[in-house]
Amino acid sequence: MQSNSINKFFSVGLEDVDPAVSAAVDNEVRRQTDGLELIASENFVSEAVLQAAGTVFTNKYAEGYPAKRYYGGCEFADVVENLAIDRAKAIFGAEHANVQPHSGAQANMAVLMTALDHGDTILGMRLSHGGHLTHGHPLNFSGINYKVADYGVNKDTEQIDYDELQKIAEESRPKLLICGASAYPRTIDFARIGEIARSVGAKVMADMAHIAGLVATGLHPSPVPHCEFVTTTTHKTLRGPRGGLILCREEFAADINRNVFPGVQGGPLIHIIAAKAVAFGEALRDDFKSYQQQVINNAKVLADTLSDAGLRIISGGTDNHLLLVDVFMDGKGITGKAAEKALGDVHITVNKNTIPFDTQKPFVASGIRLGTPALTTRGMKEAEMSAIGAMIASIIHEPESEEAKAKVKQGVAEITAKFPMYPGRLKAKREESISAT
Ligand code: DSN
């Protein structure tokens, strides 16, 4: 007996199959929509990117690379992977792109495996000064498998001291110099870093995860001409799905590919690669540059507003999409942990962050890190940044004041209502399914 009815397995939606997960998704849509998202490493992808990430490509195994797969049926996987590769190369002017890394950490791992032998020396930026776990932290593979030397920022300027970096490179003689940062508000001089590396016979990996969108649009100098390897995540300023990307010169292409697969990964996430292709297509459009310029403008206004309200901005300002704010101010203010909690209570999402030469432990921290990519995607501009800066300052100055909290909650509700997101993404049929569990 044949039936024309569609198997329910393929047609019943999430809200009916799994109300608990569906409600959590709805709650997250509301949390993102009703709050002010200022985590510097987050962004909101377009509906098109979301749709690509949620496609049937999630069903497909495609170990290998386009036209050289270990599975049949990869012809359409090849189409999206080739689109992602070609667009990534076009955006950044790179000779080779590998779009398969599941994350920035795996992209970095593949580069370290390509550039180094076990036990070789790397030189990376200290995590507490703005670096990243994968740049040599003792608990990370990078610190476990390799000898680590590190550099930081100058105590007075709170910016990278390139003369000092040159000295440290001469002393430590790294095989790989790692640059790029996750909490550094200033322009990074990739050309100078390339010169330093060459002077000691090192290769360079630039992890441009935070600033990739600025680099894509020429609003931050590109590391590509100066560094053998460039890695990035795809979900920060680049505004794609959560994932990683490696760019390199052709001479390293085969080694990089081999070290991504089969080196550190098995099957690529083709649905995410499809979403990367869509996001890279968006990044090639003219309006991506005006978006990135607005990200920078917004960060400057936010920094100025907070500074005018008496808070100390690390390094005195920002050149990019993020700022670090010293909220502790040698005991005159509150810790980063307390600030993160107090702001979270009024629906402003930030993360606590160490500041250079911090006296607090990383889990407490003296600072908070703020970034403007997500709110800029919603369409917010300078006027909203001034209002948001004033709200943040009022909470930091008076974290216990119920009056200040009520006023800020009201302000957040008014601003967010003006910049709606993701129409049609709320699936709940019942109001009670929205309650927290
Ligand atoms: N965890 C990311 C960030 O927030 O900057 C870096 O990987």
- The CATH code belonging to domain 289-419 is 3.90.1150.10
CA of 163 to the centre of ligand 1 (A): 27
Each domain of the chain, given as residue ranges in start order, spans 56-283, 289-419
Q: Which pLDDT value is given to residue 192?
A: 98
- Judging by beta carbons within 10 Å of its beta carbon (0-12, 13-18, 19+), is residue 241 exposed, middle or buried? buried
Q: Which pLDDT value is given to residue 37?
A: 98
- Whose CA is closest to atom 2 on ligand 1? 41
What DSSP assignment string belongs to 25-40? HHHHHHHHHHSEE--T
Closest CA to 115 of 15, 18, 203, 244: 203
Q: Which pLDDT value is given to residue 436?
A: 46
* pLDDT one-digit tens code per residue, 306-350: 999 999 999 999 999 999 999 999 999 999 999 999 999 999 999
* pLDDT one-digit tens code per residue, 342-365: 999 999 999 999 999 999 999 999
- Whose CA is closest to atom 5 on ligand 1? 182
Give the E-state strand segments of 311-377 in sequence order: 312-313, 322-326, 348-349, 351-353, 367-371
Report, as ranges of residue numbers, the positions in the chain whose pLDDT lies below 70. Answer: 1-3, 427-437
Q: Which pLDDT value is given to residue 6?
A: 82
Mutate to test the pocket of ligand 1, among 182, 231, 370 (most ligand atoms within 8 A of CB): 182
The answer, yes or no, to whether any atom of ligand 1 lies below 6 A from the CB of 41, is yes
The answer, yes or no, to whether any atom of ligand 1 lies below 6 A from the CB of 134, is no
Which atom of ligand 1 has the smallest separation from the CA of 183? 5
- Whose CA is closest to atom 4 on ligand 1? 41
Distance CA 384, CA 372 (A): 11
Pick the CATH number of 56-283 from 3.40.640.10, 3.40.50.300, 3.30.70.141, 3.40.140.80: 3.40.640.10
Q: Who contacts 19 (Cβ-Cβ below 8 Å, separation ≥6)?
A: 433
Q: Are 350 and 40 in contact (CB under 8 A)?
A: no
Q: Which pLDDT value is given to residue 13?
A: 92
pTM: 0.96
CA of 205 to the centre of ligand 1 (A): 17
Distance CA 320, CA 326 (A): 18
Q: Which pLDDT value is given to residue 431?
A: 47
Q: Which pLDDT value is given to residue 427?
A: 66
Distance CA 295, CA 302 (A): 11
Q: Which pLDDT value is given to residue 434?
A: 42
- Judging by beta carbons within 10 Å of its beta carbon (0-12, 13-18, 19+), is residue 223 exposed, middle or buried? buried
Q: Who contacts 80 (Cβ-Cβ below 8 Å, separation ≥6)?
A: 57, 270, 273, 274, 277
Q: Which pLDDT value is given to residue 333?
A: 96
Q: Which pLDDT value is given to residue 2?
A: 55
